[in-house]
Chain A
């Protein structure tokens, strides 16, 4: 390894990235993903367009309508429609839920009166959540005394805000997808344009080439760690309870993993578009699935649970969630283990890539 060779090659890479205006995209894309997904992924359901058909017109039915109107979860309209018209409203996506209070509903209380709730099931999670809200609301509405009362204590995300779950989870997605794609493209570009022959013929060693190619994406994205952290803390108001140093170190190693994946992708592809598509496809799905944004890993079924352990995103996000919401740091042996696993990933990916890069025409 000769430092001056690496330095010269690095200089060329930096100039290239800046001339290409790639530098803008390096910082724009992670920023955009965080802002868009952060504001865009809404798991909580509010403003359900509800139509209540009151055929009873009693005090009780008015009370029920009132109950529905006074939450942020439902936007209530009371209309006088036939059942068929109401169904058509859902079919044409003009309403999400219809509540039908039948005639003489309050008269028949305790004698088999029934309240009908029809929910648009096209969005399954939304349907289940709405179902739960309705049940809760009606049980309260009827003032039913339950012998068992649940007293729940919420951990980590006490205020139950979507931001607290989504924003830290996005770190694992962004730093898996973006540095890898950049690294893959930077190498494959030489192949596509033909300048890879400079590398084949010049007296530069494989290891020097790889270091020169992987350093720019690594360094640029190291800055991104802090940009995203600041966004998370000040725009989304996510608490940070852990150790900044551990968070930073884990992120750097995770970026190395991503860059390593990019290196591997660059070996098997020969056009930039293929490199981009392949690196995005193999990283986006696991990055999203096993990030813990949608579903805690512990609650996955056996198959996905094992798959989650194959991809590095689970280990990184565990550390990220710990840094943001939990704050155990290295006091928990679990976190130490996960950190070591990340290191092992980074080393083996880069080693594998170094072994497979050929300094000759195939």
Chain B
């Protein structure tokens, strides 16, 4: 009864702040759509230029095999200098020089050398682009006998659709950010507006106040997650789900409480909303970047990998990827649920102790 009254009050406060509601809707829909659709980590439309000193049909044949989606239409340059200038001005990423001996060597069976100038600023992109080039040239190596077929299968996402992965990563980042901000602000706003003392006078136990305040924001988050997964991840990007959506809800719920624990600590130490904002950024960034939201943990420094065991986001990310892509069942996910539950209990306890002192 008392709890529902507090919940009702918190929802009212939330929905009266129309600006905030709009931002949160934006964060859960458009923001994730932009991140999912916009960030393409696999090279597409690589701008390519060439210099043709060989002037042979063979060259035209090779050039015409650079096409979308991997490459843009190749641009011709008169000499190597012009091509280099274009690379220096970042107009072109890959330049190919067919020199005079290229065709002769190719036709006479010698090794024909192909000069490739590449802007390797984005090292991984450059690496993958070189792999593309290699694959295209393989087609012109018809006489080569391959001893064994190499059968490479990319499981779960055979076409490497980055939208699915990116939108989920962004969703988890958004949940982390909003979870910290919303929950901390619920407490700090009372401090800032001077209503904290009124809250203390309420005939309600402090633990109940703390718990229901958090629950109200967690419920808002869950509504946001539902909107986001429904409209963007499944709706706009048509992502698969190989596991069970309920598992995802469960882990999201646990994660929201773990984040709530951290937010309580933030709320306890900050005097105003501004400090909340800054502390959130300071805590959120390492949490997101060192838990493997965007880049795989296994390539990171061993020490960071060790640290990430203490991040609640690590388990959330892995469980989410397992549920959506790898199709793990409930039994396989139990370690994640357990770890996440433990994290949320510990963090919640710390946060509760911290903020409890102020009551």
B122/A289 in contact, CB under 8 A: no
Among the listed B47, B273, B294, B300, which residue makes an inter-chain contact with A299, where contact means beta carbons less than 8 Å apart? B47
Among the listed A108, A162, A298, which residue makes an inter-chain contact with B123, where contact means beta carbons less than 8 Å apart? A162
Name A72's closest neighbour in chain B (CB-CB).
B299
Could you tell me the distance between the alpha carbons of A113 and B149 in the complex, rounded to whole angstroms?
A: 6
CB distance from A299 to the nearest CB of B (A): 5
B289/A298 in contact, CB under 8 A: no
CB of B339 closer than 8 Å to a CB of A: no
Task: Please indicate the chain A residues that have their CB under 8 angstroms from the CB of B138 in the complex.
Answer: 146
CB of B322 closer than 8 Å to a CB of A: yes
A-B contact count (CB 8 A): 341
Name A105's closest neighbour in chain B (CB-CB).
B148
Task: Please indicate the chain A residues that have their CB under 8 angstroms from the CB of B26 in the complex.
Answer: 281
Name A117's closest neighbour in chain B (CB-CB).
B152
CB of B244 closer than 8 Å to a CB of A: no
Could you tell me the distance between the alpha carbons of A20 and B321 in the complex, rounded to whole angstroms?
A: 41
Could you tell me the distance between the alpha carbons of A124 and B47 in the complex, rounded to whole angstroms?
A: 21
Given A146-B137, A147-B143, A151-B116, A295-B296 contact (CB < 8 Å)? no
Could you tell me the distance between the alpha carbons of A23 and B34 in the complex, rounded to whole angstroms?
A: 33
Could you tell me the distance between the alpha carbons of A292 and B328 in the complex, rounded to whole angstroms?
A: 35
CB of B227 closer than 8 Å to a CB of A: no
Given A92-B326, A146-B141, A124-B152 contact (CB < 8 Å)? no
CB distance from A300 to the nearest CB of B (A): 6
Of the stretches A135-143, A215-223, A226-234, A255-263, the one at the interface is A135-143
B181/A273 in contact, CB under 8 A: yes
A295/B43 in contact, CB under 8 A: yes
Among the listed B123, B154, B275, B295, which residue makes an inter-chain contact with A161, where contact means beta carbons less than 8 Å apart? B123
CB distance from A168 to the nearest CB of B (A): 8
A33/B285 in contact, CB under 8 A: yes
Given A142-B148, A162-B124, A297-B90, A148-B140 contact (CB < 8 Å)? yes
Could you tell me the distance between the alpha carbons of A40 and B119 in the complex, rounded to whole angstroms?
A: 23
- Contacting residues of chain B (72-119) with chain A, CB-CB under 8 angstroms: 72, 87-93, 106, 109-119
Could you tell me the distance between the alpha carbons of A124 and B35 in the complex, rounded to whole angstroms?
A: 15
Task: Please indicate the chain B residues that have their CB under 8 angstroms from the CB of A92 in the complex.
Answer: 322, 326, 328, 332
Given A271-B273, A274-B23, A294-B41, A36-B285 contact (CB < 8 Å)? yes
Among the listed A87, A134, A157, A299, which residue makes an inter-chain contact with B152, where contact means beta carbons less than 8 Å apart? A134
- Contacting residues of chain A (162-176) with chain B, CB-CB under 8 angstroms: 162, 164-165
A96/B298 in contact, CB under 8 A: yes
Interface centre among A92, A96, A149, A293 (most CB of B within 10 A): A92
CB distance from B213 to the nearest CB of A (A): 16
- Contacting residues of chain B (210-229) with chain A, CB-CB under 8 angstroms: none
A124/B120 in contact, CB under 8 A: no
Q: Besides the contacts A32-B286, A129-B124, A273-B273, what 4 more A-B pairs have beta carbons closer than 8 Å?
A: A41-B289, A116-B153, A292-B122, A299-B44
CB of B20 closer than 8 Å to a CB of A: yes
A120/B147 in contact, CB under 8 A: no
B285/A121 in contact, CB under 8 A: no
Name B71's closest neighbour in chain A (CB-CB).
A299
Task: Please indicate the chain A residues that have their CB under 8 angstroms from the CB of B123 in the complex.
Answer: 43-44, 157, 160-162, 164-165
CB of A359 closer than 8 Å to a CB of B: no
CB distance from B243 to the nearest CB of A (A): 10
CB of A109 closer than 8 Å to a CB of B: yes
Q: Which 3 A-B pairs have the closest CB atoms?
A: A43-B124, A132-B131, A121-B157
CB of A37 closer than 8 Å to a CB of B: yes
Name A327's closest neighbour in chain B (CB-CB).
B88
Among the listed A114, A128, A165, A280, which residue makes an inter-chain contact with B149, where contact means beta carbons less than 8 Å apart? A114
Binary CB contact string for chain A from 266 to 309 against chain B (1 if under 8 A, 0 otherwise): 00011111101110110001001100111111111100100000
Question: Is chain B's interface secondary structure helix, strand, loop, or mixed overall?
Answer: mixed
Among the listed A43, A45, A121, which residue makes an inter-chain contact with B158, where contact means beta carbons less than 8 Å apart? A121
Q: How large is the interface on A (under 10, 10 to 19, 20 to 34, 35 or more residues)?
A: 35 or more
Interface centre among A144, A272, A299 (most CB of B within 10 A): A299
B127/A132 in contact, CB under 8 A: yes
CB of B146 closer than 8 Å to a CB of A: yes
Task: Please indicate the chain A residues that have their CB under 8 angstroms from the CB of B112 in the complex.
Answer: 147-149
Given A148-B112, A161-B123, A296-B90, A142-B131 contact (CB < 8 Å)? no
Could you tell me the distance between the alpha carbons of A151 and B134 in the complex, rounded to whole angstroms?
A: 11
Could you tell me the distance between the alpha carbons of A32 and B286 in the complex, rounded to whole angstroms?
A: 8
Q: How large is the interface on B (under 10, 10 to 19, 20 to 34, 35 or more residues)?
A: 35 or more
CB of B162 closer than 8 Å to a CB of A: yes
- Contacting residues of chain A (29-53) with chain B, CB-CB under 8 angstroms: 29, 32-33, 36-37, 39-49
Binding site for B on A (CB under 8 A): 20, 22, 25, 28-29, 32-33, 36-37, 39-49, 87, 90-93, 96, 105, 108-110, 112-129, 131-132, 134-136, 138, 142, 144-158, 160-162, 164-165, 181, 185, 189, 192, 269-274, 276-278, 280-281, 285, 288-289, 292-301, 304, 318, 321, 325-326, 328, 332, 334
Task: Please indicate the chain B residues that have their CB under 8 angstroms from the CB of A145 in the complex.
Answer: 111, 144
Could you tell me the distance between the alpha carbons of A161 and B109 in the complex, rounded to whole angstroms?
A: 36
A156/B120 in contact, CB under 8 A: yes
A321/B121 in contact, CB under 8 A: yes
Among the listed A29, A33, A277, A296, which residue makes an inter-chain contact with B47, where contact means beta carbons less than 8 Å apart? A296
A185/B117 in contact, CB under 8 A: no
Could you tell me the distance between the alpha carbons of A193 and B296 in the complex, rounded to whole angstroms?
A: 44
Name A307's closest neighbour in chain B (CB-CB).
B38
Task: Please indicate the chain A residues that have their CB under 8 angstroms from the CB of B42 in the complex.
Answer: 124-125, 128
CB of B201 closer than 8 Å to a CB of A: no
A126/B47 in contact, CB under 8 A: no
Task: Please indicate the chain A residues that have their CB under 8 angstroms from the CB of B304 in the complex.
Answer: 39-40
Could you tell me the distance between the alpha carbons of A296 and B125 in the complex, rounded to whole angstroms?
A: 9
Could you tell me the distance between the alpha carbons of A259 and B278 in the complex, rounded to whole angstroms?
A: 17
CB distance from A256 to the nearest CB of B (A): 22
Name A96's closest neighbour in chain B (CB-CB).
B298
A122/B285 in contact, CB under 8 A: no
Could you tell me the distance between the alpha carbons of A124 and B128 in the complex, rounded to whole angstroms?
A: 12
Could you tell me the distance between the alpha carbons of A192 and B192 in the complex, rounded to whole angstroms?
A: 10
Given A148-B106, A277-B23, A155-B157 contact (CB < 8 Å)? no
CB distance from A126 to the nearest CB of B (A): 5
Could you tell me the distance between the alpha carbons of A240 and B124 in the complex, rounded to whole angstroms?
A: 21
CB distance from B44 to the nearest CB of A (A): 7
A93/B151 in contact, CB under 8 A: no
Name A110's closest neighbour in chain B (CB-CB).
B147
Ordered by A's residue number, 19 sampled pairs between the chains whose C-beta atoms are within 8 Å are: A25-B278, A39-B300, A45-B299, A115-B148, A122-B157, A122-B321, A123-B165, A123-B296, A124-B160, A125-B128, A132-B128, A142-B146, A144-B144, A147-B109, A160-B127, A181-B277, A189-B274, A272-B277, A300-B40
